[in-house]
Structure 1
């Protein structure tokens, strides 16, 4: 099996990072597995991790009142799960539940925040990567809303 640094090097989220930075990040990481139906995290809970999905699928869910649980997005191999570890008050915004057996590399948020405080260059690099991920997800959510509600409605 590959070591953590090699797994990070092969993941698209960390493309172009130096071996030294990958080694630093690997010091805050471990491998984990979730079984189908198992919660990765729950809305409102302490957000102190993020995950690189190596294999499997994870649904992001929110409760829609009398409509029950709604799937906002399903993430899969190569995706990043969890950004709330980076933004105070460090609480999950959604539920995340494994849809299939899912193997991830998990990162300790406290360890990463402390590392970023010591190394602002690495911290800035991570923030840029997460900002890009958030922008991509926001655009995908907008397209999904347009698909559900149509694009020629009153803009007022």
Structure 2
């Protein structure tokens, strides 16, 4: 099951519009990219490397909930009010990515409702995919043995 990529999700014209706002960035391995609860004012598409999404667990170290790689969208909290990160992120390897200024993209979305709908649909598809994969991982961890097997 592949994550919905921008290339599959957006028409070419919208890809060009979005990429006109991109800037190339690099993160060294171990770089903290954003923290849970901070203002979500950017997002990224990974070109190379991998990024771990994590959540704060009181009294313990952060729990990694997903690892993202090539062509994957990092960050969707920028699109939905209150624009605060629901997870944190760290570069687990050296990363090269395209970075986008979220307020500028939100302005384009408001200015062109069809573009905004396409971006929102893409982000929604990414979220839906991540929820499905999280559900499968949780079932693997916590479902009784054989609970999913056909009788």
TM-score using structure 1 length: 0.84
Change (3 A) 1:101 1:79: same
**Residue number in structure 2 paired with 1:28:** 21
Aligned to 1:114, which of 107, 110, 114?
107
| Partner in structure 2 of residue 8 of structure 1 | none
Secondary structure of the corresponding residue to residue 59 of structure 2 = helix
Say if 1:84 and 1:16 are closer, same or farther in 2 by CA, change over 3 A: closer
Q: How many residues align?
A: 142
Instruction: Give yes or no for the alignment of 1:145 onto 2:135.
Output: no
Corresponding residue of 1:5: none
Cα deviation per residue 1:1-55 (whole Å; 9 max; x = unaligned)? Answer: xxxxxxxxxx932336444323321232111011111011111111011110111
Which residue of 86, 100, 103 maps to 2:93? 100
2:92 matches 1:131: no
Structure-2 change in CA distance of 1:99 and 1:16 (3 Å): closer
Query: Within 2, Cα distance between the matches of 1:150 and 1:19?
Result: 42
Distance 1:89 1:23 in 2: 27
Q: Is the 8 A contact 2:52 2:64 kept in 1?
A: yes
1:75 is matched with which residue? 68
Kindly state the Cα deviation for residue 112 of structure 1 after the two structures are TM-superposed: 0.4
The two structures have a TM-score, normalised by structure 2, of: 0.87
SS of the equivalent of 1:71 reads: strand
The structure where helix makes up a greater share of residues is 1
Measured in 2, the distance between the counterparts of 1:73 and 1:16 equals 21
Segments of 5+ residues of structure 1 without an aligned counterpart are 1-10
Post-superposition offset of 1:132: 0.7
CA positional deviation for 1:65 = 2.0
Task: Say which structure, 1 or 2, has more relative contact order (CA 8 Å, 6+ apart).
Answer: 2
